[in-house]
Amino acid sequence: MNGLTHLQRLEAESIHIMREVVAEAERPVMLYSVGKDSAVMLHLAKKAFFPARPPFPLLHVDTTWKFRAMYDLRARAAADAGMELIVHTNPDAVAAGINPFDHGGRHTDLWKTEGLKQALKAGGFDAAFGGARRDEEKSRAKERIFSFRSASQGWDPKAQRPELWKLYNARIHRDESIRVFPLSNWTELDIWQYILAEGIEIVPLYFAAPRPTVERDGMLLMVDDDRFRLHPGEVPVERSIRFRTLGCYPLTGAVESEAATLPAIIQEMLLTTTSERQGRAIDHDQAASMEKKKREGYF
């Protein structure tokens, strides 16, 4: 055997990180967003603890505005892994009727940032796995693999612990917690290659198919159910589209595409000239928006 490939090394690193958390944390949980990165993370968890089941629950912080296809896969994936699935919807956001049509950026704030904090606190979780990657965005490039959060779950870039070798310091005081990113060193291409190599099931929306769409503010939006509010004069048009990232359906832009297989998706990804997050409205809010959201407790 002549050395490990980059995917083998990335896989081993992620597994090492997950095992370290399970060995040192009291009550870990895995954030599961149903996207492709979550799918890879869940697959790695199955590998890390085989033949045991991953010894922690999955947590989905639900906004109630995900695509229907995501809810289908969510239930199946948890059952296949034999893991408990915790679904948390922020009761304040439910009560206030928060939705992406009326509330824009506040939608993310209330459902996700606040909802995540509530769910972690309610479950008493002291470590939470997240699928973020360092290549996604500039402020992520400096994120630790073990990201330390204060009792109020805030992130202070200056209070992060140095990480040397494979030695992760998971010691915390009561009420403090760590967010752990086992996919830190993966790139988007690595994720796709791994999905291909391992045959990991992902939400069908990543593959191109004819779907009802409207074009709005330069984004191509899919009309997933009858909650979608059409503007006067808007008529859904069937286009062959797919999604590069999946979030809340009215906030996530699709791309027109014919790529219906993994190699075709990867080919298209490599031939296009815009990076992954452009499809998400959240990043267009303002420069450094992600860092701001992280300080407030967003994943």
Partner 1 sequence: MTAYTPDALIAADIHAYLDTHAHKSMLRFITCGSVDDGKSTLIGRLLYDSKTIFEDQLSQLEADSRRLGTQGQNIDFALLVDGLAAEREQGITIDVAYRFFATDKRKFIVADTPGHEQYTRNMVTGASTADAAVILVDARKGVLTQTRRHSFLAHLIGIRQLVLAVNKMDLVGHDQATFDGIVADYAEFAKSIGIEGFTAIPLSGLSGANITTRSEAMPWYDGPALLPHLESVPLDADRAAKAPFRLPVQWVNRPDLDFRGFAGTIAGGRVRVGDAVRIVPSGRTTRIARIVTFDGDRDQASAGEAVTVVLADEVDCSRGDVIAAADAPPEVANQFEATIVWLSDTALVPGRGYWLKSATRTVGATVQPPGHVVDVNTQAQLSAKTLELNDIGVAEVFTDAPIVFAPYEDSHELGGFILIDRETNATVAAGMIRHALRRAQNVHWQSVDITREAHARQKGQSPRLLWFTGLSGSGKSTIANLVEKKLHALGRHSFLLDGDNVRHGLNKDLGFSDADRIENIRRVGEVARLMTDAGLIVLTAFISPFRAERDMVRGLLPPGEFVEIFVDTALAAAEARDVKGLYAKARAGEIAHFTGISSPYEPPERPDIHIDTVRESAEAAAERIVEHVLGVWSFEL
Residues that bind partner 1 (CB under 8 A): 1-12, 15-16, 19-20, 22-23, 46-53, 134-135, 138-142, 157-158, 160-167, 169, 171-173, 184-185, 187, 189-190, 193, 196-197, 263-264, 266-267, 270-271, 273-275, 278, 287-288, 291-292
CB of 67 to partner 1, least distance (A): 24
- To the nearest 5 percent, what fractions of the chain are helix, strand and coil? 40, 15, 40
**Is residue 168 a contact partner of residue 182, using CB atoms and an 8 Å limit?**
no
89 versus 289: smaller Cβ distance to partner 1: 289
CB of 183 to partner 1, least distance (A): 12
CB of 261 to partner 1, least distance (A): 10
164 versus 235: smaller Cβ distance to partner 1: 164
165 versus 231: smaller Cβ distance to partner 1: 165
Closest CA to 146 of 123, 114, 120, 180: 180
Tell me the two tokens of residue 100. 């992406």
CB of 20 to partner 1, least distance (A): 6
* Those residues with Cβ within 8 angstroms of residue 87's Cβ, 6 or more apart along the chain or in another chain: 59, 60, 62
* Those residues with Cβ within 8 angstroms of residue 30's Cβ, 6 or more apart along the chain or in another chain: 41, 42, 45, 54, 56, 57, 58, 59, 83, 128, 129
Q: Which amino acid is at 254?
A: A
Q: Which residue has the tokens 């109630």?
A: 64
CB of 198 to partner 1, least distance (A): 9
Cα separation, 212 vs 225, whole angstroms: 10
Cα separation, 201 vs 117, whole angstroms: 29
Tell me the two tokens of residue 299. 């994943």
CB of 195 to partner 1, least distance (A): 12
13 versus 114: smaller Cβ distance to partner 1: 13
118 versus 160: smaller Cβ distance to partner 1: 160
89 versus 187: smaller Cβ distance to partner 1: 187
